[in-house]
Amino acid sequence: MLAVLDYGGGNLKSIVNRLESFGVSYSVTDKAEDIARADKIIFPGQGHFGQVMQALTFKGLAEPLIARIRQGAPFLGICVGLQVLFDSSEEAPGVRGLGLLKGKIVRFTQGKIPQIGWNKINVTAANTFLREDYFYFVNSYYAVCETPEVVSATADYQIPFTAAVQAGNIAATQFHPEKSGQAGYDALARWVSEE
């Protein structure tokens, strides 16, 4: 079963609508036992790094999520669902992330913040399911990876920044594929169909 993580925030409706259109079997859940046995996991993200980590801890979801990802379940994080994979964020000093990827989340220091709108991504060799196209971003922060080989796509907003990451069974996008028209639809469809 594909589990859509409900931590009390996130953009669940748009993701669910996409999954419905694919005709795939899924469940929206905030239960640790569902995450522990999920075949695939989508973490739809919207919100503040600290509040999201607090919600995961309060609901008892952080440890089962880390364990299931480490066991190899395919994982797709979106927006803050990418950010929490890292060790820490300038958005919430002192709050630990999931620590599955090495690095930190930092705030843009130039341009209008947050970045809101369409931006073109450039994919790297780490990518398996994205195509170079325009995707919809809403972000004030971005990932600085200690292991650059996990960066699967970049984009430019005053500076080049991490638009997506991929490492083994872990994939995550800073942009919102569920709000990115045909390009996003196709990317989600490819991820869902990957073995």
Q: Report the distance separating Cα 140 and Cα 156, nearest Å.
A: 13
Least Cα distance to 14 among 34, 28, 2, 25 occurs for 28
Strand bridging mode 122-123 / 75-78: unpaired
Is 48 one of the catalytic residues?
Answer: no
Q: Are 5 and 37 a contacting pair, CB within 8 Å?
A: no
Locate all alpha helices (DSSP H) within 79-159, ordered by sequence: 80-83
Are residues 41 and 84 in contact, defined by beta-carbon separation less than 8 angstroms?
A: no
- From 91, 176, 194, 195, active-site residue: 176
Known catalytic membership, residue 176: yes
Residue 90 appears among annotated catalytic residues:
no
Choosing from 132, 146, 149, 178, which is the catalytic residue?
178
| Catalytic residue selected from 20, 48, 79, 146 | 79
Hey, which residues are catalytic here? 79, 176, 178
